[in-house]
Amino acid sequence: MSRVPVAIVGGSGYTGAELLRILLRHPRVEVAAVCARRSAGERIADVFPHLAGVVDRTVEPFDAAEVAARAEVALCALPHGASAPIVAALRERGVAVVDLSADFRLRDPAAYAEWYGPHPHPELIGGAVYGLPERYRDRLRGAALIAAPGCYPTSALLAIAPLLAAGLVRGDDLIVDAKSGASGAGREPGLATHLPEAGEGIRAYKVGGAHRHIPEIEQELAAIAGGAPRIVFTPHLVPMSRGIFTCVYAVPTERDRPEADYRAAVDAAYAAEPFITVLPAGRVPDTAHVRGSNRAHVNVCVDRRAGRVLAMCAIDNLGKGASGQAVQCLNAARGWPETDGLDAPPVFP
């Protein structure tokens, strides 16, 4: 079986390293190039010592023509704003792209401009497919430009989408409470994720409707239920390296509905999904149980006293929240089994 040549662009960060780790064991892919500005010319084993003895190659500077000559697909793990020009150059040369930045997630250029600034290449937005396979699998088949979802939106949508789609909860009164490990902030050193600053506490950040994932979550909620939903979204930094736990607090459309109805909706939505596990009643998802994988653990319960439904999800922010999901999207786009390269179980403890 011939392998498809794939390039990783932005290979010196955590998502780039995770992409490389996954693709090295992918049965249908050959890593043709690993590109990065910051570490160009360095050996990958020096940039990422955990790959010493596994990868014997050098990080290359990005050149669109060179990548196009060697790769059919590029996975871009670059920051928003920096990614769009790279994606445009690759698409111009016929390279299919899975983009892990925010640059093509929002379908409305005005919404992008409001939250991120003017879009560098708005002409490409309409051709991008939002890469949540559990909702857009059919659109992903054959897609040439895929926008991999953000980590927080992935966890929130996997938690609440089945209930919202079934009409069991209201879409106009959702509270999204999420906790993430420090790797979500990237590999660039910063005071907020410096161990003495972050290691013994937990803190909310970008509160009061300031986080840029809000329009992405609301966009996808609107696609499920219509209208113009507004969420309260509060992210937190917790002292761990990787993982996201999200709890969505929702108002039921019928107050006395039995909990079994909510569980039935979630079970039905994910019965055939290879990476989603609906936990038994009473068991709460735990980031420790999905670490290092593309898996998601979800569950739902009812708080009768408060009249709320709690929809919960745990993922690895570098797995199902980023690089694992990007590879799942690649598999779906090419018509391969979505588990290719992603079938390793979580790492525990």
The confidence score (pLDDT) of residue 189 equals 73
Asked if residues 261 and 223 have their Cβ atoms less than 8 Å apart, the reply is no
Q: How does pLDDT run across 171-202, given as a tens digit for each residue?
A: 999 999 999 999 888 777 788 787 788 788 89
Verify whether residue 151 is a known catalytic residue: yes
SS3 letters for 20-87? HHHHCCCCCEEEEEEECCCCCCCEHHHHCHHHCCCCCCECECCCHHHHHHHCCEEEECCCCCCHHHHH
Q: Average pLDDT of the chain?
A: 96
Total-model pTM? 0.96
Of 35, 151, 301, 313, the catalytic one is 151
- pLDDT of 265 reads 98
Q: How confident is the model at residue 332 (pLDDT cuts 50, 70, 90)?
A: very high
Q: What is the mean pLDDT of residues 61-76?
A: 98
Report the SS3 class of residue 244.
strand
| 50 to 17, 21, 45, 144: CA distances (angstroms) | 10, 10, 7, 32
Question: Listing from the earlier edge strand, what are the strands of the sheet with 244-250?
Answer: 203-204, 231-237, 174-180, 244-250, 308-315, 296-303, 276-278
Residue whose C-alpha is closest to residue 211's, from 180, 232, 190, 229:
232
Q: What is the pLDDT of residues 260-291, one digit of tens each?
A: 999 999 999 999 999 999 999 999 999 999 99
Number of residues written out for the chain: 349
At 50, is the pLDDT very low, low, confident or very high (cuts 50, 70, 90)?
very high
Q: Is pLDDT above 80 for 146? A: yes
pLDDT of residue 292: 97
Of 14-23, 36-45, 182-191, 274-283, minimum mean pLDDT range: 182-191
